[in-house]
Structures are given as C-alpha cells and as structure tokens.
Amino acid sequence: MTLKILTVMGLATFEVYAAIPAGFAFQLPSFIIFLASTVGGLVGVFVAAYLGTQIKNFVKKYKKSKIEEKPKAGFIINIWNKYGIVGLGLIGTMTVGAPISIGVGVGFNVPVNKMVIWCSAGVVIRCLIFTSLGHYGMKVL
C-alpha cells in the first residue's frame, strides 16, 4: 500500500489528472487519494517555483539580451490580463497545471511567493474536486 501511495504522490508532482485515476485504479480509499495527490501536487508547486527561479537566473547568466516581444494572444495571456496573479494561480492550475502556471508567472516576473500561495490553493481545490468526482462516480458504478 505504501508503494501505491508514493506512486500517486509522484504522479501528482507532475500531473494531478493522472494521479487521482491511478489512486482509484489502485483501489485506495478516497481520503488517502486526496491526501497523496494534494501532497504530491504541493511538492510540484514548490519544486517548480523555486527551481524555476534558479533555472531562469542560470539562463539569464549565459543568454545574450535582446528585445523580446510579448505575445498578445493565448489562453494563459488572457487569464493573466483579465484576472492577474489570482487567476493565473487558480484558473491556470485548474486547466493547464501548477508547473506551467508557475513557469508563466516566473516569465511575467510575478513574485514567486504570491504564485506559490495561489497555485497551492489551486492544487488543493483541484484535488478536492476531482477526488470527490471520482469517489461519487465510483459509487454510481
């Protein structure tokens, strides 16, 4: 059982959408799936946030500076323009995942601590919603 829980945590570090169904496939209790996917998702947020900053600084050190045009359209850009940090953290995490949202936030020079707070909230909400859907969906079957 420990290996199954660690597998769900490891999957959730990269993608919660794979971790929760795997937990149900392993026939783990819903509460354990929620906890394991939440912990794994939060680990992914912290790794992406703090290693992302390190990677950005490393690339800046060796990259020649040139004028960059910012994209004017796109799903994440629209979320950023309309909702700011909160939207990028919550909506971005719900749709494309926390590591991508963190990466976009770092690219927009958003304070990392604020991105971590909002992406962490998004991970908890997403895990709660999808674990509940899976739990009650399994009850129907």
Non-local (6+) Cβ contacts of 52 within 8 A are 102, 103, 106, 112
Q: What residue numbers bound the domain in which 108 lies?
A: 2-140
Please report the pLDDT score of residue 62 as a whole number: 80
Q: How many domains does the chain have?
A: 1
Q: What is the mean pLDDT of residues 76-99?
A: 84
Instruction: Note the pLDDT of residue 131.
Output: 95
* pLDDT recorded at residue 71: 57
**Residue environment code for 123-138, b if the CB has 16+ CB neighbours within 10 A, otherwise e:** bbebbeebbeebbeee
Residues 92-125 pLDDT 10s: 888 888 888 888 888 788 888 898 999 999 999 9
Separation in Å, CA 54 to CA 43, 61, 136: 16, 11, 41
Residue matched to tokens 């850009």: 77
Rounded mean pLDDT of 73-78?
A: 74
Give the residue with greater pLDDT, 30 vs 80. Answer: 30
Mean local confidence (pLDDT), 49-64: 78
Q: pTM, whole model, 2 decimals?
A: 0.83
